Amino acid sequence: MSDLRRQVRDHYDAQSLAPEKVAMILGLGRDAASGNDGKVTEIPKRKSWGGILSAIAAVLLLSFAGIWWFQRDVGPVSYTLLAPRVIEFFGSDPELVPAPQDKNEVKAWLLSKGAPAKLEIPASLLPLESAACQVVDVKGEKAYMSCYWTDDKPGRGIHELVHLLVSRADDFHDQPKSEKPVIRELNGWSFASWTKDEILYTLATAAPPEKLSPLISAVERGESPLMISMIVE
Amino acid sequence: MRDRHTYLEASPTTADSTDAEYLQAGFRFALSLTHHREEAEDLVQETWLNLSRRYGCIESLPVLFTSIRNLFIDQCRHKKLAYFESLDQPDVHDVASVPADEPCLKGELGKLLAKLNPGEREVIFLHYYMGHTAEEISRMTGQPRGTVLSLLHRSVAKLRKLSDDGGDSFRCNQILVFFVVLMTLARTSRT
C-alpha cells in the first residue's frame, strides 16, 4: 500500500457518523421503507379522457351561455332602431302577405299575429287600397305592419306605398310620448310616430315627409276612424 | 475496514450492521464531495431516506454512491454552484495507469483536500480510499477512463504542489522566527 493511500484512508477513517446519528437515519429509513414517514410518493395519474371531455363540454356550455346572455331580450329596445330596421326590411326583398281590402280583416290579421288589442288603423288610411301585411322584428320586439297604396296609377312602386307599424309602447324607449306625430327622415325615408293608448304608431314611406302630411293631419286633429269613414263615404 | 469487493458484491439485505457500514461509507463519500461535515450528513441522510422510500432498502453501495452523487449535483444546480477547471493546471493526457506507489504528502491532508474541487476529491476518495480502479470509476461516474486517469494524476499533482508550497512556507516562517529571536537576543546583550 502506498503512503498516499494509507494517508487518505487514515484521513477518511477518522471521519464517521456518530452512532446515534446512524441509528436515527436507519430508523427513519425503516419508517420511510414502510411508508410511515408521512411522505407519500404520488403515482402520476393517467390522463382521463372523461375529464378532458367534461372540460370541453363545460367550455362549450359556458360559450353558449355567454352568447345567450349577450343576445337575450333584455327589455325595451331603443325606438331609434325602428326606422333603420324598416329600411333594412324593405331593402332585403321581404316576403309580404297580401292584405285584404277590408280594413277590419287587416286589423283582425294583425291581432291574430299578436298586435295590441286596442290597435286602431288611422282614419286617413281607411280609404286607401291595402297592399300587404307582415310582422317586423326589431331586435326581438315586434312591429305589426300593414302597407297601403297612396296612388292607383299604373306602374306604381314603393314610393307610392305607406306603411303603418304598430307596436306596444312598453317594448320601446325614447319613442315620442305624445299623440301628436313626430316626423323624422332617414336615408330618403320619412317616418311619423306618435303614441296613443300605450300603443306606438309609426307611419313610414320611402318618400319625402310631404307624402305623409295629408295622412297625419287627421291624426293631429284627433279624428276617429269612424269620422274618417263618414268623410270618405 | 471492509473490503471494497464485499460492498460491490453484497446482496440486498436489511441487516443493521451492513446498513450501518453502507451509511458510514456513504457519509465518507458525501464528505469527499462536500468537504463539509454537516452538509455531508444531510446529503447522506436525504439520499438514504429517498432510496428507502422508493425501493424499501439500499441494494448496494454503488447505488448509494450514485444517488448521493446525483443529489449533490442537483443541490449544486439548485444553489447555482459551478466548479470550474483552472486553465493554469497542466492537463495530463494519455495516462496509462495510476502509479502503484505514491509518497506521503506533507502537511494535514484535510486542509489540502479542501483546496481541491469536488470532482478531484471524488476520484481521490474512490481510488485511494475505496480502492476502485480507473475503469470502475469511469463506469460509476460516466466519464471515459482516460479522463478519470487524467483527473487522478492532476488531483494528486495538485495535492503534492499544495503540500510542497505549504512546506516551503513553513520553512520560511521558521527562518523568520529564528531571525527575530536572534535580533531580540542581540538587543538584550547590548543593553
Question: Which among A12, A38, A71 is the end of a domain?
Answer: A71
Quote the pLDDT of residue A204: 92
Tell me what percent of the residues of chain A surpass a pLDDT of 90: 22
Tell me what percent of the residues of chain A surpass a pLDDT of 70: 86
Residue B23 sits at the chain A interface (C-beta within 8 Å): yes
* Domain extent for A28: 3-71
Higher pLDDT, A191 or A77: A191
Residue B124 sits at the chain A interface (C-beta within 8 Å): yes
pLDDT tens-digit readout, B107-143: 788 888 998 999 999 999 999 999 999 899 998 888 8
Is residue A87 domain-shared with residue A195, that is, in the same domain?
yes
Return left, alpha or beta for A198; rule: phi > 0 is left, psi -120 to 50 is alpha, else beta. Answer: left
Whether the per-residue pLDDT at B40 is higher than 90: the answer is yes
Quote the pLDDT of residue A37: 66
A29/B156 touch (CB, cutoff 8 Å), yes or no: no
Higher pLDDT, B7 or A159: A159
Can you tell me which residue has the cell 316626423?
Answer: A183
* A4 vs B contacts (CB less than 8 Å): 102-105, 128, 156
Is residue A219 domain-shared with residue A164, that is, in the same domain?
yes
Is residue A98 domain-shared with residue A203, that is, in the same domain?
yes
Closest residue, chain A, to B121 (C-alpha): A8
Please name the member of A7, A16, A29 whose beta carbon is closest to the beta carbon of B27.
A16
Given a contact cutoff of 8 angstroms between Cβ atoms, the answer to whether A33 and A41 are in contact is no
Whether the per-residue pLDDT at B5 is higher than 50: the answer is no
Closest residue, chain A, to B111 (C-alpha): A11
Whether the per-residue pLDDT at B13 is higher than 60: the answer is no
Quote the pLDDT of residue A233: 31
Q: How many domains does chain A have?
A: 2
Q: Which of residues 33-72 of A touch B (CB under 8 A)?
A: 33, 35, 37, 39, 41
The CATH number for A133's domain is 3.40.1000
* B23 vs A contacts (CB less than 8 Å): 17, 22, 25-26
Residue B28 sits at the chain A interface (C-beta within 8 Å): yes
Is residue A56 domain-shared with residue A82, that is, in the same domain?
no
Residue B52 sits at the chain A interface (C-beta within 8 Å): yes
What is each CA distance from A186 to A82, A172, A200, A209, A214, in whole angstroms? 11, 19, 19, 10, 20
Residue B100 sits at the chain A interface (C-beta within 8 Å): yes
Tell me what percent of the residues of chain B surpass a pLDDT of 90: 27
What is each CA distance from A56 to A44, A48, A69, A120, A156, in whole angstroms? 22, 13, 20, 53, 58
Question: Which among A20, A53, A71 is the end of a domain?
Answer: A71
Other Cβ atoms closer than 10 A to B135 = 11
Which whole number is the average pLDDT over A227-231?
36
* B41 vs A contacts (CB less than 8 Å): 17, 21
Is residue A88 domain-shared with residue A188, that is, in the same domain?
yes
Residue A68: pLDDT band (50, 70, 90) is confident
pLDDT tens-digit readout, A11-21: 999 999 999 99
Is residue A214 domain-shared with residue A137, that is, in the same domain?
yes
A12/B125 touch (CB, cutoff 8 Å), yes or no: yes
Is residue A81 domain-shared with residue A67, that is, in the same domain?
no
pLDDT tens-digit readout, A112-140: 989 998 888 888 888 888 888 999 988 88
Say what the ipTM of the complex is. 0.74
- Return the number of CB contacts < 8 Å for A and B: 89
The answer to whether domain B109-190 has CATH 1.20.58.220 is no
Q: Would you kindly state where each structural domain of chain B is located, as residue ranges?
A: 4-78, 109-190
pLDDT tens-digit readout, B138-191: 988 888 998 899 998 999 888 888 888 765 565 667 778 887 888 888 888 776
Name the helix (H) or strand (E) containing A63: helix A49-71
Min mean pLDDT across A9-18, A54-63, B87-96, B117-126 is at B87-96
List, in sequence order, every beta strand (DSSP E) within chain B: none
Environment class of residue A152 by beta-carbon count within 10 Å: exposed (0-12), middle (13-18) or buried (19+)?
A: exposed
Min mean pLDDT across A1-5, A201-205, B43-47, B171-175 is at B171-175
Quote the pLDDT of residue A58: 94
pLDDT tens-digit readout, A85-99: 989 898 888 888 888
Is residue A66 domain-shared with residue A28, that is, in the same domain?
yes
Is residue A52 domain-shared with residue A146, that is, in the same domain?
no
Three-class DSSP category at B5: helix
Is residue A186 domain-shared with residue A123, that is, in the same domain?
yes
Residue A80: pLDDT band (50, 70, 90) is confident
Selected residue of B3, B52, B59 to mutate for chain A interface (largest A Cβ count, 10 A): B52
Quote the pLDDT of residue B27: 94
